[in-house]
Structure 1
Amino acid sequence: VDRVEQQMQAAGRRRASARLITSVTVIAAATDEAAYDRFRDYSQYVDQDAALALFAGWTGLDLSKYQPDDVLQDVHIEGNRSALQSFTSMDPDRAWTIADLASYMSIGARGPVIIGSGKTVVDELERWIQEAGVDGFNVDYALRGPDMTAFAKFVTPELRARGHLTPAPPVGSDHQTLRGRIFGTDWLPQDSTGGAYRRGQ
């Protein structure tokens, strides 16, 4: 977030003209215990080879020739080194192995996984906003139907109760677009690259 803010400033953009979001996988339930039960159930079915194949597809880094216990810091491979560094930098004191990476990728891919009741999930989302400075989240899932349904049932009411969700605008209101709801205007800001091309507003 800090790096993006610096880049925006260098480009003459205001921080308020952008929203920074991050991907999170949410496994929610009525209680923390029930949510962890679902997570443990999901974990029985993960395929770590498939997770490494997914990682290779995203990054161009084929880790299949390495052993599960090989440490990421010791892996010498051409290509997208920053993808490996994104793991090793999460916890500098931890020696991440290929097996650790595969396990982490199996549920949630490269993003964090938040597990718990609606209250626990929203507490963690708020912590990310306060400590990391993100503006919002792209909510992902392990299983689309169950996880999206659980999010709507357990997390959405808590988000709304804390003032994080606003009702949809009535038909005919000034701002019908997502941009309008977030920024208060349907137009790109003038200091953005796209806004600079606007004529005749």
Structure 2
Amino acid sequence: MADKIIRFNGFKQATVSHAAVGVWRHEGNQSHRYNALDYWVETAKTLEAGLFDGLFVADVLGVLDTHGGRIDETLKQGAQTPSIDPLLAVSAMAAVTKHLGFAITVSTTYEQPYLLARKLTSLDHLSGGRIGWNVVTSALESAARNLGYDSQTPHDERYAIAEEFLEVAYKLWEGSWEDDAVVLDRANGVFADPAKVHAIGHKGRYFSVPDAFIAEPSPQRTPLLFQAGSSSIGKDFAAHHAEGIFISVHKPEIARRIVDDIRQRAERFGRDPASVKIFAMATVVTGPDDVSAQALHRALSATVSTEGHLARLSAILQLDLSQLDPDVPLEYVATAGIQGVLEMYTKLDPERRWTPRAIGEFLGIAGGGAEFVGSGNTVADEIEAWVDASGIDGFNITDPMPLRSFADFGTFVLPELRRRGRARTHYEGKTYRESLYGAGQPRLRSDHPGRAFRYSTTGDDA
């Protein structure tokens, strides 16, 4: 384990309050500029300078209105409302970088596979193969209500839709166009050989896509696939399809149980369990020494909104925490929300008494993930220990102070990790997938289920 390279994605949301709800109030905080293009451009440049694998962007499609049945508290703290569509910032970020990947959250419940496949293929072309897709099924009742549904689709059915959605996407990305379909024959007036472009003929329970894909294959064909399913069916879905899996827990021993479970599930699906890269959420507050880092952490913590955290968590759980006694421990109940998060506060950490009040205070600036505070040397020690104990491959690093947190991490922590041989010194290959698997592997691995939909094995690069 000692020579294992630790991988990093920056972790953001195109909103004011992401993991650190309320910290926008800190003097000098730039999160209110989430809707400015230069904010995203500078973020991308900083991450690439630090040799991060990518930028992982969370997203939601509805307002957070579960807490008290109103959006008041989430509006006060800018908690996921307002927000913008992060997909639209990718081209600008790709234009100022050469290696950084972009993993964008898009829901299978409210998109159409034919349209989304073209959007992601377009970005993969325009970025030179640096697009990832965080596949989600969406858990907000408000999203369903405002996108034309009478009520939210039941939890397990959302995953059934996602399974068929990916089947259609694989057929479009992997099977519709052969590798040598584009011939660019000017003499004979043939751009693409019709014999090498195929209709996919899909007719399923949820989607009907009879024709050929409208876009030619991009550098990766299928974008790098991420997922964060935390229920049993969600973990199966992730273990089956995802190349990168995102988890959010605060202890390495809890992470280890999840990691072992996911890798066992991946193996049952016929995949190399080591090929599934697992990233844990983490927040790092660092500086030139422990004292300055701790002082910044205290200052940030003083601005956290406990009530804002509970309003956000209510929406995630689809459980109105305002209606519960703040000092009575939570009990697990089936909800339409993200079940694994509720398990975190009812089953996975029995050492703590998780009342609503305790949860709201605990979420702090880290939002429930790992938290590392100190000098570069101190944080490097803690990161190494966390990785080695948990078995994860890396972290999705939040930025409670946008345009500063990532830069501080690159200035103080990454050089120390590189000195120890634990962080990369250069990028592998040109695509996001090569960043994870090595140069010469821009396409889905041979053991990935999407590869079964390939029409042609010409140029097989597994």
TM-score by length of 2: 0.40
Q: In the aligned structure 1, how far is the partner of 2:357 from the partner of 2:403?
A: 28
Is the counterpart of residue 162 in structure 1 residue 420 in structure 2? yes
Q: How far, CA to CA, are the matches of 2:342 and 2:374 in structure 1?
A: 28
1:158 partner amino acid:
E
Alpha carbons of 1:159 and 1:178: their partners in 2 closer, same or farther (altered >3 Å)?
farther
Partner of 2:320: 62
Q: Residues 61 and 77 of structure 1 are in contact (CA less than 8 Å); yes or no, is this contact kept in structure 2?
A: no
Q: Cα distance, 1:3 vs. partner?
A: 0.7
Equivalent pairs counted in the alignment come to: 196
Identity between Structure 1 and Structure 2 (%): 32
Which residue of 2 is the match for residue 121 of structure 1? 379
Answer yes or no: is the 8 Å Cα contact 1:27–1:35 preserved in 2.
yes
Q: Which deviations, in whole Å up to 9, do the C-alpha atoms of 1:29-71 show, x marking residues without a partner?
A: 1122221111111111111111011112222122011233222
Where does 1:146-161 land on structure 2 (aligned, <5 Å)?
146-161=404-419
C-alpha RMSD of matched pairs (Å) = 2.1
Aligned to 2:442: 186
Identify the structure with bigger relative contact order (alpha carbons < 8 Å, sequence gap 6+): 1
Q: Match for 1:38 among 296, 309, 314?
A: 296
Corresponding residue SS for 1:144:
coil
Deviations 1:143-165 (A, max 9, x none): 22232221111111112111223
Q: Tell me, in whole angstroms, the C-alpha distance in 2 between the residues paired with 1:116 and 1:196.
A: 47
**Cα distance, 1:94–1:17 mapped onto 2, change above 3 Å:** closer
SS of residue in 2 equivalent to 1:101: helix
TM-score w.r.t. the length of structure 1 is: 0.87
C-alpha distance 166-78 of structure 1, shift in aligned 2 (>3 A): closer
| 4+ runs deviating over 4 angstroms | 75-81
- Change over 3 Å in CA distance of 1:146–1:58 after alignment to 2: same
Larger radius of gyration: 2
Instruction: Tell me which moved more, 159-168 or 43-52.
Output: 159-168
Q: Which has the higher strand share?
A: 2
Change (3 A) 1:68 1:103: same
SS in 1 for 2:449: coil
How many angstroms apart in 2 are the aligned matches of 1:95 and 1:17? 36
CA distance in 2 between counterparts of 1:142 and 1:13 reads 36
5+ residue gaps, structure 1: none
CA contact (8 A) 1:23 1:137 kept: yes
- Whether contact under 8 Å (2:318, 2:335) holds in the other structure is no
Structure with greater helix share of residues: 1
How much has 1:79 moved relative to structure 2? Answer: 4.5
Secondary structure of the 1:194 match is helix
